[in-house]
Chains A and B, each alone.
Chain A
Amino acid sequence: MKNPRPLTALAVVALVLAAAFTTVLVANAATSPADAKGPVVLPPELASMPIEQAMLTSPPHVPPAIKRQYAARMVVNLEVREVVAKLADGVEYTFWTFGGSVPGSFIRIREGDVVEFHLNNHPSSKLPHNIDLHAVTGPGGGAASTFTAPGHSSQFTFQALNPGLYVYHCATAPVPMHIGNGMYGLILVEPKEGLPIVDKEYYVMQGEFYTTGKYGEEGLQSFDMAKAIDERPPYIVFNGAVGSLVGDKAITAKVGEQVRIFFGVGGPNITSSFHIIGEIFDKVYPEAGLSLPNRNVQTTLVPSGGATMVEFKVDVPGTFILVDHSLTRAFNKGALGMLKVTGPEDRVIYSGKEIDAIYLGAQAEAGSNSAKREAELKTQIAAAMSSNPTIAGLTKEMQIEKGKQVYMGLCFACHQPDGKGLPMAFPPLAGSDYLLADRGRAVRTVLKGLTGPVTVNGVTLNSVMPPQEAVLTDAQIADVLTYVYNSWGNHGEAFTSAKVKAIRAEIH
């Protein structure tokens, strides 16, 4: 191959995903058009079931609850159509749809039903499509039997063995592209005993759109396979478009009603942290397993290619925001919808803002005045201390003591504890004319060290004094020099650490 490296990486990554999907295609070739097996011959007890046309609805609405207490033969006619529609303001996209909408039509059947499923691919479609319903037990979930060219129709029959809320989607290669163009929806298989009655039921699905343009870039956008493989969608939306459930398109309820939401994630890639701001899910059926709900859940995790059913009672009016709680998806990519609840307030449950008052910070005014006074007093004390000779003397004594500790821990090694140095090796400090003549030079010497010939009290020595700038702090240097200048007969003023600091900065 011409460009092995990038293609190899890409192939390795995409291979696994292509694996499951191309197998469908492979199997399709063996079982599609030429291999139609003819209508299934039902055994007498199934053949005698009543036949019903399934009612399909567009999101966010769902067909009415199933009231019959027996299984039936349901005929589903689902059309595949490629339509250009709005993805966001000013942004258009060629959606591939089941039933003309994203997500596709909601299908509602009952446990035990035998479904005669017709997948009709509109002649205006550019591509063949098929369908994998997660409610189907059988190869490809139906995909192996519904591979349909444009302008053609496929039929297959399945029995709904398991109750539950299931995702369906197209499974034609490249599958992530077909799903990424909007080919997903939900099919509800009601349990035999039915679902509890609620006042409102709604249908919401989350999905990503991988457009070549950035979020909000206007015009007809194309699908971007590289972004899809990297899972970097510019759009993550509910029901196929930014703002599909916002404003006058919000879903609604009245105070006191029980609301049920069938929430699915078409993907193709991203899971959802489904949450409704201001509401708590009284019941959550995790992963849409309908037997045992969780109760009192704030945010529920919905896998890609999965669903959940949530139920809650609305108690107070207001606008409650549906989000994917991975929040940049909600606020920057479109995963945001609205539930508008109308009706009487209940201020005990939620009062709204009661009081708006001024707040001044950590202290009352009297306290902050006191802090100012304290700072003033501190300055006065410092001034008084430095100007008072007794106190000034005491502080100098303190420095001398501290400086002695520094000297006896470091400098004594060469200059000796008595300050007399070592003849022919290290100069004395006691009565040293060199030392006492220049205070600034004394500080610089301690900081930077000294090499070369130096004449002290008439004697020339040539040795090395190592620098102490990295070893001693400014305060320690001030203290040790104060000690040296006031010991062994030396007399001098104290050194300040501020002065040392200034000199250190100069000669740095």
Chain B
Amino acid sequence: MTPKPFLQLSAIALGLWLGTVRGAAANGTEQGSVLIPAGFYEPLIRSPKDLAKKPVAAFWLDEQPITNGQFLAFVRAHPRWQRSHISRLFADSSYLEHWTSDLNPGTQAPLNVPVVRISWFAARAYARWVGRRLPTTAEWELAAAAGYTRPDGKNDEVLQHDLYAWLARPVPPIQSTVTTARRNLHGARGLHGFVWEWVDDFNTALVTGESRADSGLERDRFCGAGSLGAKDSSDYAAFMRQALRASLQANNTTTSLGFRCAQDFSPLDPYSPR
């Protein structure tokens, strides 16, 4: 076969396959996605060996965090992720604690608000079920770096105000819906001001002294090493996100930690996922 028709057929096949996956997950888990353009992520803390600017390819990001309703559809389809069935390896004893029962989120967990008290394992399982994945730290931070009206969120005063006001408030007993939250420049809602969000590589967020190749000293562990690599100490919300990620284990859950999914952007199928 000549290349061109082969590519066309492959594209169609890919589209069909993706469509099938999407169809299977379509019951109650519809989720808008926004395209985050390729860019550079400047890690908050890095060792001298790491790149100062990490290139991030374009990717699809869920417009909003996954809700109780969407997660309910998942645990219905996969009972071993229900609260009373799940192994402690995959979630600690607070997993979905605020739900009334295994299949009833109840009054503390309205269907249209972000799901919290889910572990990294559970978030990944959901993402796989809908044919997606968790975003990486670099991808999430790249998406979250944008302001409401400008690409540099750090200079967007309204965004900064919203973010720090949220940090100053205690965790509410019932989360708020993100559906009506303001979109940022890329179209994503609620990256700041609602829940913390799991990322795929949460536990590689900090240098741990692995990179001893430079010299006999554990350079990255020494006083100052972490901060000498800190990109911008004034972005202290980033420090707090970093601190939270570093404090977690994969089976942990907290009252203010949720997630959203991501998907690779494929030039062959530029309109997926929808």
| A and B interact | yes
Is A124's CB within 8 Å of the partner chain B? yes
- A173 with B239, Cβ < 8 A, contacts A26-B206, A29-B205 known: yes
Contact with B along A1-36 (1 / 0, CB 8 A): 111000100110011011111110111111011100
In the complex, what residues of A have CB within 8 A of residue B243's CB?
Answer: 25, 127-128, 172-173
Is the beta-carbon distance between B230 and A32 smaller than 8 angstroms? no
Is the beta-carbon distance between B225 and A26 smaller than 8 angstroms? yes
Is A247's CB within 8 Å of the partner chain B? no
Task: Name the prevailing secondary structure of the B interface residues.
Answer: loop
CA distance in complex: A127, B233 (Å): 18
In the complex, what residues of B have CB within 8 A of residue A229's CB?
Answer: 234
Q: Which of A7, A33, A94, A174 sits near B170, CB closer than 8 Å?
A: A94
Q: Which of B233-274 contact A (CB under 8 A)?
A: 233-234, 236, 239-240, 242-244, 246-249, 252-256
- A28 with B255, Cβ < 8 A, contacts A23-B226, A23-B227, A225-B234 known: no
Q: Which of B165, B222, B223, B230 sits near A222, CB closer than 8 Å?
A: B165
Contact with A along B94-114 (1 / 0, CB 8 A): 100000000000000000000
Is A417's CB within 8 Å of the partner chain B? no
In the complex, what residues of A have CB within 8 A of residue B206's CB?
Answer: 25-26, 29
Contact with B along A139-164 (1 / 0, CB 8 A): 00000000111111000000000000
Nearest-Cβ distance from residue B211 to partner chain A, whole angstroms: 12
Is B164's CB within 8 Å of the partner chain A? yes
Is A270's CB within 8 Å of the partner chain B? no
Is the beta-carbon distance between B240 and A174 smaller than 8 angstroms? yes
Is B207's CB within 8 Å of the partner chain A? yes
Is B13's CB within 8 Å of the partner chain A? no
CA distance in complex: A32, B249 (Å): 9
CA distance in complex: A223, B169 (Å): 10
Is the beta-carbon distance between B223 and A223 smaller than 8 angstroms? no
Q: Which of A10, A33, A222 sits near B247, CB closer than 8 Å?
A: A33
CA distance in complex: A225, B233 (Å): 11
Is the beta-carbon distance between B45 and A151 smaller than 8 angstroms? no
Contact with A along B42-63 (1 / 0, CB 8 A): 1001000000000000000000
- A83 with B170, Cβ < 8 A, contacts A123-B254, A128-B247 known: yes
Q: Which of A11, A32, A223 sits near B167, CB closer than 8 Å?
A: A223
CA distance in complex: A6, B33 (Å): 35
CA distance in complex: A204, B196 (Å): 36
Is the beta-carbon distance between B169 and A34 smaller than 8 angstroms? no
CA distance in complex: A34, B223 (Å): 22
Is the beta-carbon distance between A11 and B233 smaller than 8 angstroms? yes
Is the beta-carbon distance between B168 and A151 smaller than 8 angstroms? no
CA distance in complex: A48, B90 (Å): 39
Nearest-Cβ distance from residue A243 to partner chain B, whole angstroms: 22
Is the beta-carbon distance between B225 and A221 smaller than 8 angstroms? no
Contact with A along B214-237 (1 / 0, CB 8 A): 000000111111111011111010
Nearest-Cβ distance from residue A192 to partner chain B, whole angstroms: 33
- A174 with B236, Cβ < 8 A, contacts A22-B226, A23-B222, A26-B221 known: yes
Is B209's CB within 8 Å of the partner chain A? yes
Q: Which of B203, B239, B248, B254 sits near A174, CB closer than 8 Å?
A: B239
Q: Which of A26, A28, A82, A177 sits near B220, CB closer than 8 Å?
A: A26
Interface centre among B155, B167, B246 (most CB of A within 10 A): B246
Residue of A nearest to B206 (CB): A29
Is B157's CB within 8 Å of the partner chain A? no
In the complex, what residues of A have CB within 8 A of residue B208's CB?
Answer: 26, 29-30
Is the beta-carbon distance between A151 and B246 smaller than 8 angstroms? no
In the complex, what residues of A have CB within 8 A of residue B156's CB?
Answer: none
Is the beta-carbon distance between A22 and B45 smaller than 8 angstroms? yes
In the complex, what residues of A have CB within 8 A of residue B26's CB?
Answer: none
Q: Which of B152, B226, B234 sits near A11, CB closer than 8 Å?
A: B234
Nearest-Cβ distance from residue B35 to partner chain A, whole angstroms: 22
Is A125's CB within 8 Å of the partner chain B? yes
Is the beta-carbon distance between A7 and B232 smaller than 8 angstroms? yes
Is B158's CB within 8 Å of the partner chain A? no
Residue of A nearest to B163 (CB): A222
CA distance in complex: A28, B242 (Å): 12
- A14 with B94, Cβ < 8 A, contacts A150-B254, A151-B255 known: no
In the complex, what residues of B have CB within 8 A of residue A123's CB?
Answer: 94, 254-255
- A151 with B253, Cβ < 8 A, contacts A33-B247, A222-B164 known: yes
Is B24's CB within 8 Å of the partner chain A? no
In the complex, what residues of B have CB within 8 A of residue A71's CB?
Answer: none
In the complex, what residues of B have CB within 8 A of residue A11's CB?
Answer: 230, 232-234
Q: Which of A2, A14, A126, A172 sits near B234, CB closer than 8 Å?
A: A14
CA distance in complex: A18, B205 (Å): 17
Is A54's CB within 8 Å of the partner chain B? no
Is the beta-carbon distance between A27 and B227 smaller than 8 angstroms? no
Is B171's CB within 8 Å of the partner chain A? yes
Is the beta-carbon distance between B230 and A18 smaller than 8 angstroms? yes
Is A297's CB within 8 Å of the partner chain B? no
Is A220's CB within 8 Å of the partner chain B? yes
Q: Can you offer 5 A-B residue contacts whose CB atoms are under 8 A?
A: A2-B155, A7-B234, A15-B227, A22-B226, A173-B236
The 8 closest A-B pairs by CB, nearest first: A128-B247, A222-B168, A14-B233, A26-B226, A22-B226, A29-B206, A18-B227, A149-B247
Extra contacts besides A30-B221, A82-B170 (10): CB < 8 Å: A2-B155, A15-B227, A18-B230, A22-B230, A23-B225, A28-B246, A124-B255, A148-B247, A150-B256, A152-B247
Give residues in B with beta carbon < 8 Å to A: 42, 45, 92, 94, 152, 155, 164-165, 167-171, 196, 203, 205-209, 220-228, 230-234, 236, 239-240, 242-244, 246-249, 252-256
